[in-house]
Amino acid sequence: MEQLCVAQNRMNNIVLSSDISRIPSKIAIGEDGFSKQTADQWKTFIMIYATTILWDMLNVSGRKILGHFVRACNLLVSRIVNKDELKEAYERLKDMARIIESTYGPEFITSNIHLALIFLIAVGIMRLNGYIGSYPNSNRQIEPELMKIFLKNALVDYHLTRNWTPGLLDNTLHLIKPKKAVGSLALTSTIDNKELKYFLSHRHQISVAFKIYGTEPIPGRMLSPSYMGVIMPLELKKILYEWYKILYKGKYKNIEEFMYPVINQHTKLQIGDEIFGSMISSYKNNSIILAKWKAKEDKTSDIYLGEVQYYFEHTLRLPQGPKTQLLAYIRWYKCASSSATQFKYSFMNSKVSNTEIWKTEHYKEGYDSILPVHRILCRAIKIKYHVGNSENYISIVPLNRRFNF
């Protein structure tokens, strides 16, 4: 119980964004702790809190069990799960079960673990065939809601195969008729899956042949409050000019001649159901993002942590017609001083971790501070972290929900 009190104190110091459900201060309450946690609260605890607050309380096996489980959850909460991600999630849950069995004995492989693997296969097949995306849900407690749908469908199938007294089936079907969606269930996303798949392809395809200009359509929009027709500061104009030169690689002799002198500045961005904030908005806790960058040397890609200052639209008046870019101005955080520090929470090899450690300092601002919004991978939670007595770091927990899932 003493360790749970320590964990509770650590949780109390973590500030979450407004769209993430809070966990009441009750993990140290009750005989065994975690008094009456709901399914949604367990999800938040496992995916956001668990790694950071429990890591130093666990032995090597416990860390691996937690790491595999959190990784599987992160993969499965995405709206769109590809085959490779589904296979990895299945492998992570299998590895988790094997470690539990070898460490604590086969009697600890409960029916819930078997059910998780079976449920994963069923959900994976249905998601890959586009069925689950059509089911109404609140986007907050999707697991129990989907289980209710499965059970209801199973009940319908059962009754349809029975021999009924004439007229009895028609008179009783109203008992399982679905209720009208209200509240959060009525706010189910209207974004089309094809739109999201197209947008996701931009985020993941990092190659010489595939370039993002920022003019591509997005399944979302910029949100108010907005400041239209803002004259560009000189420093931004210089940075944007350098960014355009690299983007178009000398296609135009003097790209500056085509640059419109004003921008439309926005405080928030909506992609699907996800709201991305900025430092000039009331959604400051939503301003931490992860984005993918292509390495110059070997053409691989790396993921970097940034803090969005603001979003903006800028128009180039090109000979073939005007082109408007959807961009974000970002301050990038510096990597930790060593790989051992950055990947402190690794559980498979030295660079596989659900949570990473970054410095609180930022890189110098330049042309790489400009990012097309299409390159944003996801939001992240920032947690203060101390190394020794002198160095301050932040622990980063990715919100791999991809559009509020």
329, β-bridge pairs: 310, 370
Is residue 117 classed as helix, strand or coil in its secondary structure? helix
Structure tokens at 322: 């005007």
Structural domain spans, the chain: 2-128, 192-399
CA–CA distance, 292 with 279 (Å, rounded to integer): 21
Long-range contact pairs involving 31-39 (C-beta distance under 8 Å, separation at least 24): 33/1, 33/4, 34/4, 38/141, 39/141, 39/143, 39/144
* Per-residue pLDDT at 303 exceeds 80: yes
228 residue type, one letter = M
Q: In 3-state terms, what secondary structure has residue 118? A: helix
**Span 374-403, mean pLDDT?**
75
The beta strands (E) that lie in 295-375 are given as: 301-318, 321-335, 356-362, 370-372
The confidence score (pLDDT) of residue 68 equals 92
Residue 137 has pLDDT above 70, yes or no: no
Please tell me which residue, 81 or 298, carries the higher pLDDT value. Answer: 81
Predicted confidence (pLDDT) at residue 13 exceeds the cutoff of 50: yes
Helix (H, G, I), strand (E, B) or coil at 314: strand
- Residues with Cβ within 8 Å of 275's Cβ and at least 6 positions away in sequence, in order, are 19, 223, 268, 269, 283, 286, 404
Task: Please report the pLDDT score of residue 46 as a whole number.
Answer: 84
Q: How confident is the model at residue 167 (pLDDT cuts 50, 70, 90)?
A: low
Task: Report the DSSP pairing between strands 288-294 and 220-231.
Answer: unpaired
Query: According to the model, what pLDDT value does residue 389 have?
Result: 54
Residue 122 pairs in a beta bridge with: none
Q: Is residue 181's pLDDT more than 60?
A: no
Other C-beta atoms lying within 10 Å of the C-beta of residue 27: 20
Q: Can you give the pLDDT at residue 308? A: 97
CB atoms within 10 A of CB 329: 22
- 181-194 per-residue burial string, b: 16 or more CB within 10 A, e: under 16: eeeebeeebebeee
The DSSP symbol for 182 reads -
